[in-house]
C-alpha cells in the first residue's frame, strides 16, 4: 500500500475545521448553517453515512438539491471539495490518473543524453509518482493540507457508461485505487463521498450496495417556502406563497419535465426583477420559460390553464389566511 502525501499539521492561518456531527440534530444544524433546508430523514441518512464512513448515494429528479448537499458539506465541515462531474465517455485517465507522457519523454531523452542505458532503471523512474497526473478520484484519497480527508462529490453518475461504474467499485468499498505500475493507493482515512444520480438510467446494484441510498424528493410546500426564505430573502411573503403553491400544483400535472427547486428559486428571482409582489396571469404566461424548459410543456400550460391554476392557488391561499 502506498499512502500518498503525509498528513500535515494545520497551520496557524488555516480555517477552523468542524468535527463530524455527533447526532442527527447536529447534522440538521450543520446543513442549516450551509443554508440547506433538510428534512429529518435526509439528515439521518447523512449522519449514518458520516458515522459509518460509507458513501451517500442521492438519487432524484434534476434540481431537487442533490449536488448542493455535497457542496454544503464541504463548506460547513471546512473540507476541500473534490468534484467529479460525470459525462458519457468518462474514463480512468480523466477520472483517476494519467501518466504525464511528455514529461516521461523528456526524462528518457535526458537519460539517453547522459549515457544511462539501464532500461529497468529508466522505466522505474518514469513510472513513479512524479510523472503521475492525479485526477479527482485519486486526489480524493489524499488528505488536504490540514490532514483531513476531503469531500468527494461524484456528480450525475447516471451520465457515465456502465463500464465506468466498475472502476468505482474498488474506490467506494475500500477507498483505494490500483495503479498497475505503482501498486495500490489507499486513503489514510476515507473521504466523505456523495454520489448523485438524476436517474436517467439505473445505477448498478453493486454500486448502490456499497452506499447509503437516499431518494431526494421534491419538497412539500412548507419546506419549499422555507427554502425560498433562505435562498431568496428579498421576496415578498405573499409572492413566495403564491409561487410555491403554483409550482407545487404544476408538479401534479402530466408534464415532460417538472420544475425543480432550482426553477422555483429562478422564478422567484425573475419575478423580483420584474418588481412583482403578486402573481397575475400575464406575468405567469410571459415567465413560464423560467419554470418549464420544453416547448410542449409551455404550450400545455400557457393561457387558460395557467390562469386556472393561478385562480385555484389564490383561493386556496385565501382560505388558509383569510
Ligand X SMILES: Nc1ncnc2c1ncn2[C@@H]1O[C@H](COP(=O)(O)OP(=O)(O)O)[C@@H](O)[C@H]1O
Contact footprint for Mg ion (CB under 5 A):
67
Residue closer to Mg ion (CB basis): 67 or 160: 67
* 227 binds ligand X per the rule CB under 6 A: yes
Taken in order 205, 211, 213, 216, the sign of the CA dihedral is negative
Please provide the DSSP assignment of 11-59 as one string: PTTSPPPPPPPSSHHHHHHHHHHTT----HHHHHHHHHHHHTT--EEEE
Minimum distance between the CB of residue 184 and ligand X, rounded to whole angstroms? 32
Between 67 and 242, whose beta carbon lies closer to Mg ion? Answer: 67
CA 305/CA 71 separation, integer angstroms: 37
Residue number, 111 or 262, with CB nearest to ligand X: 262
Query: CA 36, CA 241: separation in Å to the nearest integer?
Result: 19
Site for ligand X in 101-130 (CB under 6 A): none
How far apart are the C-alpha atoms of 320 and 207, rounded to whole Å?
45
Where do we find the cell 386556496? 316
Is residue 37 a contact residue for ligand X (CB under 6 A)?
yes
Q: Using CB under 6 A, which residues numbered 120 to 179 contact ligand X?
A: none
How many residues are listed for the chain in this entry?
Answer: 322
Quickly tell me which residue has 483517476 as its cell: 96
Query: For ligand X, which stretch binds (CB under 6 A), given 21-29, 34-42, 93-101, 275-283?
Result: 34-42
CB 160 to ligand X: min, Å:
16
Choices 114-122, 205-213, 227-235, 249-257; region in contact with ligand X by CB under 6 A: 227-235
Which of 21, 55, 63, 150 forms a contact with ligand X (CB under 6 A)?
Answer: 63
Q: Which of 79, 135, 210, 231 binds ligand X (CB under 6 A)?
A: 231
Q: How many residues bind ligand X (CB under 6 A)?
A: 18
Report yes or no: 191 and 20 within 8 Å, Cβ to Cβ: no
Q: Which is nearer to Mg ion, 66 or 79 (CB)?
A: 66
Q: Which is nearer to ligand X, 187 or 250 (CB)?
A: 250
- Number of residue whose CB is nearest ligand X: 65
Q: Between 150 and 260, whose beta carbon lies closer to Mg ion?
A: 260
Contact string 182-221 vs ligand X (x = CB under 6 A): --------------x-------------------------
Indicate the residue among 144 and 156 with the shorter CB distance to Mg ion.
156
Distance between CA atoms of 149 and 229, rounded to whole angstroms?
A: 33
CA distance 107 to 28: 53
Through-space distance between the first and last CA atoms of the chain, rounded to whole angstroms = 68
- Looking at the chain, which runs of residues are DSSP E strands? 56-59, 81-85, 97-99, 132-134, 151-155, 176-179, 183-186, 192-197, 212-215
Binding pattern for the stretch 64-83 against ligand X, x by CB under 6 A and - elsewhere: xxxxx---------------
Interaction between residue 262 and ligand X (CB under 6 A): yes
Distance in Å, CB of 267 to ligand X, minimum: 12
Q: Which residue spans within 146-211 are E strands per DSSP? A: 151-155, 176-179, 183-186, 192-197
Q: Which is nearer to ligand X, 36 or 97 (CB)?
A: 36
Q: How far is the CB of 6 from Mg ion (least distance, A)?
A: 34
Q: Please report, as ranges, the residues that interact with ligand X according to CB under 6 A.
A: 36-38, 60, 62-68, 196, 227, 230-231, 261-262, 265
Amino acid at each position: 500500500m502506498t499512502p500518498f502525501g503525509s498528513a500535515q499539521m494545520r497551520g496557524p492561518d488555516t480555517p477552523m475545521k468542524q468535527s463530524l456531527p455527533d447526532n442527527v440534530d447536529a447534522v440538521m444544524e450543520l446543513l442549516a448553517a450551509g443554508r440547506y433546508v433538510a428534512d429529518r430523514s435526509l439528515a439521518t441518512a447523512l449522519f449514518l453515512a458520516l458515522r459509518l464512513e460509507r458513501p451517500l448515494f442521492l438519487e432524484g429528479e434534476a434540481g431537487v438539491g442533490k449536488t448542493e448537499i455535497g457542496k454544503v458539506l464541504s463548506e460547513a465541515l471546512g473540507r476541500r471539495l473534490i468534484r467529479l462531474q460525470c459525462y458519457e465517455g468518462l474514463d480512468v485517465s480523466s477520472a483517476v490518473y494519467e501518466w504525464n507522457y511528455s514529461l516521461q519523454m523528456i526524462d528518457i531523452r535526458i537519460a539517453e543524453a547522459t549515457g544511462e542505458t539501464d532500461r529497468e532503471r529508466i522505466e522505474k523512474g518514469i513510472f513513479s509518482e512524479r510523472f503521475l497526473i492525479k485526477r479527482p478520484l485519486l486526489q480524493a484519497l489524499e488528505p488536504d493540507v490540514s490532514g483531513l480527508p476531503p469531500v468527494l462529490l461524484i456528480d450525475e453518475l447516471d451520465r457515465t457508461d456502465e463500464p465506468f461504474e466498475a472502476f468505482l467499485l474498488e474506490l467506494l468499498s475500500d477507498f483505494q485505487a490500483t495503479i498497475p505500475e505503482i501498486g495500490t493507493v489507499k486513503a489514510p482515512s476515507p473521504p466523505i463521498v456523495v454520489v448523485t444520480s438524476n436517474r436517467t438510467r439505473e445505477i448498478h446494484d453493486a454500486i448502490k450496495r456499497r452506499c447509503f441510498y437516499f431518494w431526494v424528493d421534491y419538497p412539500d410546500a412548507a419546506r419549499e417556502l422555507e427554502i425560498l426564505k433562505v435562498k431568496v430573502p428579498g421576496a415578498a411573503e405573499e409572492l413566495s406563497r403564491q409561487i410555491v403553491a403554483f409550482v407545487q400544483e404544476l408538479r401534479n400535472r402530466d408534464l415532460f419535465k417538472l420544475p425543480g427547486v432550482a426553477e422555483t428559486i429562478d422564478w422567484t428571482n425573475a419575478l423580483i426583477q420584474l418588481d412583482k409582489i403578486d402573481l397575475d396571469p400575464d406575468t405567469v404566461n410571459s415567465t413560464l420559460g423560467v419554470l418549464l424548459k420544453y416547448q410542449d410543456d409551455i404550450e400545455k400550460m400557457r393561457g387558460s390553464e395557467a390562469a386556472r391554476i393561478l385562480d385555484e392557488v389564490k383561493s386556496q391561499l385565501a382560505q388558509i389566511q383569510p
